[in-house]
Amino acid sequence: MCGIIGYKGKDNVIEVLISGLKKLEYRGYDSAGIAVKGDTVQVIKSVGRISDLEEKVNNTKIIDTDMGIAHTRWATHGEVNEDNAHPHRVGKITLVHNGIIENAEELRNQLMSDGVVFNSNTDTEVIAALMNSYYENSMEDAIEKTINDLRGSYALGIICDDSDKLYAVRCQSPLILGISDNGTFITSDIGAILNYTNKYSLLGENEIVTIDNNGYKIIKNGKEVHRDVMTSDLTDEDNDLHGYSHYMLKEIMEEPVLVNNLINKYSNDLDKLPDLSKYDSIHIIGCGSAYYAGMIGKNLFEEDGIKVDCDVASEYRYRNIIYNDKTLVILISQSGETADTIAAMRKAMENNIDTLAIVNVDGSTIAREATYKVLIEAGREVAVATTKAYILQVLILSLLSYKLKPDNKYLSDLKKLPQQLNVLLDRTGYFKKLADSIYKRNDVFFIGRKIDYAICLEGSLKLKEVSYIHSDAYQAGELKHGTISLVEDGTVVFGIVTDDFIRDKTISNLEEAISRGAKAIYVGTENTKYDDQIIVPKVHSKLQPILVVPVLQIIAYYVALKRGCDIDKPKNLAKSVTVE
Ligand code: F6R
Query: Residue ranges of the domains in the chain?
Result: 3-238, 246-406, 426-567
**What is the CATH number assigned to the segment(s) 426-567?**
3.40.50.10490
* CA distances in angstroms from 190 to 64, 143, 146, 238, 555, listed in the order given: 26, 24, 27, 11, 31
CB of 24 closer than 8 Å to CB of 200: no
Show the DSSP H helices in 25-138 as ranges.
50-58, 104-113, 123-134
Q: Of 2, 160, 287, 456, which one is the catalytic site residue?
A: 2
Q: What is the per-residue pLDDT for 237?
A: 73
Rounded distance between C-alpha atoms, residue 73 and residue 84, angstroms: 9
- CB of residue 290 inside a 6 A radius of ligand 1: yes
* Backbone region of residue 99 per phi and psi (left: phi > 0; alpha: psi in -120 to 50; beta: other values): left
- CB of residue 577 inside a 6 A radius of ligand 1: yes
CB of 512 closer than 8 Å to CB of 484: yes
Q: Quick one: which of 336, 329, 534 has its CA closest to 430? A: 534
Note the residue count of the chain.
580
Fold agreement between 3-238 and 426-567? no
Q: What is the per-residue pLDDT for 477?
A: 94
- CA atoms within 13 A of residue 391's CA, in its CB half-sphere: 33
Rounded distance between C-alpha atoms, residue 198 and residue 180, angstroms: 8
Q: Quick one: which of 275, 235, 561, 488 has its CA closest to 379? A: 235
Atom in ligand 1 nearest the alpha carbon of residue 334: 14
Q: What share of the chain is helix, strand, coil (3-state, %, to 5)?
A: 40, 25, 35
- CB of residue 385 inside a 6 A radius of ligand 1: yes
Show the DSSP H helices in 307-338 as ranges.
313-316
Q: Phi and psi dihedrals of 510, rounded to 5?
A: -65, -40
Q: Is 510 helix (H, G, I), strand (E, B) or coil?
A: helix
Run of H or E including 212: strand 208-212
CB of 388 closer than 8 Å to CB of 378: yes
- CB of residue 549 inside a 6 A radius of ligand 1: no
Q: What is the per-residue pLDDT for 544?
A: 98
What type of residue is 395?
A: L
Q: Which superfamily, per CATH, for 246-406?
A: Glucose-6-phosphate isomerase like protein; domain 1 (3.40.50.10490)
How far, in Å, is the centroid of ligand 1 from the Cα of 153?
A: 19
Q: Is 2 a catalytic residue?
A: yes
Q: Is 201 helix (H, G, I), strand (E, B) or coil?
A: strand
Q: Is 307 a catalytic residue?
A: no
Run of H or E including 310: strand 307-312
Tell me which residues of the chain have a pLDDT lower than 70.
none
- CA atoms within 13 A of residue 131's CA, in its CB half-sphere: 33
How far, in Å, is the centroid of ligand 1 from the Cα of 205?
A: 24
Q: What is the per-residue pLDDT for 235?
A: 79
Q: Of 45, 347, 462, 575, which one is the catalytic site residue?
A: 575
Q: What is the per-residue pLDDT for 273?
A: 96
CB of 285 closer than 8 Å to CB of 338: no
- CB of residue 360 inside a 6 A radius of ligand 1: no
Long-range contacts of 562-567 (CB under 8 A, 24+ apart): 562/435, 562/436, 562/439, 563/439, 563/467, 563/468, 563/469, 565/466, 565/467, 565/468, 567/246, 567/248, 567/383, 567/385, 567/466
Rounded distance between C-alpha atoms, residue 399 and residue 417, angstroms: 13
CATH code 3.40.50.620 for 3-238: no
Rounded distance between C-alpha atoms, residue 191 and residue 233, angstroms: 11
How far, in Å, is the centroid of ligand 1 from the Cα of 458?
A: 11
Give, for ligand 1, the residue of 251, 334, 567 to mutate: max count of ligand atoms closer than 8 Å to Cβ. Answer: 334
Beta strands per DSSP E along 27-146: 31-37, 41-47, 67-73, 88-90, 93-98
Rounded distance between C-alpha atoms, residue 157 and residue 171, angstroms: 12
Give, for ligand 1, the residue of 335, 384, 387 to mutate: max count of ligand atoms closer than 8 Å to Cβ. Answer: 335
Separation of first and last alpha carbons in the chain? 11
- CB of residue 340 inside a 6 A radius of ligand 1: no
Sheet-wide strand order for 3-9: 41-47, 31-37, 67-73, 3-9, 183-187, 176-179, 199-202, 230-231
C-beta atoms surrounding 529 within 10 Å = 7
